[in-house]
Amino acid sequence: MRLLFIVALIGLFTSCADLQKKEQLAKIDVMNQTLDSLEKELISQKIDTLPELKLSTSTVELRIKQNLMMDKVDIELGKKMDAYKRMRRAFGPIGSAHGKANKSVLEIREALKNLSSDIENGYGERDKYDEYITFEKDKITKITVLLNDYKEQKESVFKTYFELHDELYTFSMDLLKKNTKSTK
């Protein structure tokens, strides 16, 4: 009788462990799917022309600084130049935010792969698997927030770029032509 009871208890614990194992692996699968969609979003949001944008905006700004020969600048031009300068300075943080998010996705993907392997094989501290899953899920949430912030910053920077670049480029070229004529 005792033997039957012990066998039944072992069977009960084993089936509960298998059920918990399936739930944990299912959570990891969902997180991997989330990472897949985050990775696709990161790829689609990458600014391929960032070095060219930095160079062109720096060139325009430098050309204006070198060729503007006024003691006073009207308020409207000053505001535009200030917004343009802030936009140019934002390119660096935007590029690094994208890089950080991309690196984090790769790190979490590797951590989930290792965690999944540990759960399947019963390695490590089994009682902490749920904590590890929660920890990785929190990191995915942080990446989602980082990606959303990146998209907002990118949108704001490009809005400023498209509003001001052509106008300030033309203005800088006009200043250059004017100063070239006056030095001859």
Number of domains in the chain: 1
CATH of the domain at 55: 1.20.120
Domain assignment of residue 14, yes or no: no
Domain assignment of residue 151, yes or no: yes
Angle between helices 2-45 and 75-121 (to 10 degrees): 150
Domain assignment of residue 17, yes or no: no
> What is the reported pLDDT for 73?
79
Domain assignment of residue 10, yes or no: no
Domain assignment of residue 66, yes or no: yes
Which residues of the chain fall below pLDDT 70? 1-19, 183-184
Domain assignment of residue 63, yes or no: yes
> What is the reported pLDDT for 14?
46
Nearest Cα residue to 27 out of 103, 92, 144, 116: 116
What's the full length of the chain, in residues? 184
DSSP 4-48: HHHHHHHHHHHHHHHHHHHHHHHHHHHHHHHHHHHHHHHHHH--T
Host domain of residue 165: 25-183
Domain assignment of residue 129, yes or no: yes
